[in-house]
Amino acid sequence: TVTLIMAFNNFKNINTNEKLLDFFRKYFPDSISLIGQKKLIEDFFGVSPSTLVSVKCRPYHVHNKALLIGDAAHAIVPFYGQGMNAGFEDCYILNELFNKHNDDIPGILEEFSGKR
């Protein structure tokens, strides 16, 4: 799997097999033998570039009924385990708030939404 993050103009300029291979020879020379020229060309030209989107939620809770955490609350690009790490951090903060507020669910949820 190859993920290229660059401006759309850069994708538009790579419009032939040779330009693609030149680009990879320049920036990722060791990857060509691992992926294979044919596979690289097929994969690159077989998929159109798309935007990376982040979605912000606020508040993270609905009254004292529901709370969004992890990937559900932090819709971020799917790299480096960011959603998973956000979920772990959410659990850590939520645990701290339960320790602080005991069973005051509305207070916990309100403060959680403020912190995240």
Helix (H, G, I), strand (E, B) or coil at 75: strand
Q: Is residue 38 part of a domain?
A: yes
pLDDT at 45: 95
Q: Is residue 39 part of a domain?
A: yes
pLDDT at 78: 66
pLDDT at 1: 65
Q: Is residue 110 part of a domain?
A: yes
Q: Is residue 2 part of a domain?
A: no
87 and 109, same domain (yes or no): yes
CA distance to 3, 35, 73, per residue, from 12 (Å): 16, 22, 34
Average pLDDT over residues 14-34: 97
Query: Is the confidence at residue 53, as pLDDT, over 90?
Result: no
ω into 78 cis (within 30 of 0): no
Average pLDDT over residues 25-52: 93
Which is more confidently placed, 75 or 69? 69
Which is more confidently placed, 31 or 51? 31
41 and 63, same domain (yes or no): no
Q: Is residue 3 part of a domain?
A: no
What does the H/E/C string look like for 9-65? HHHHHCCCHHHHHHHHHHHCHHHHHHHCHHHHHHHHHHCCCCCCCCEECCCCEECCC
Q: How far apart (Å, rounded) are the C-alpha atoms in residues 76 and 53?
A: 7
Q: How many domains does the chain have?
A: 2
69 and 41, same domain (yes or no): no
Beta bridge partners of 74: 56
Full domain range(s) for residue 80: 55-115
Which is more confidently placed, 65 or 17? 17
68 and 104, same domain (yes or no): yes
Q: What is the pTM of this model?
A: 0.56
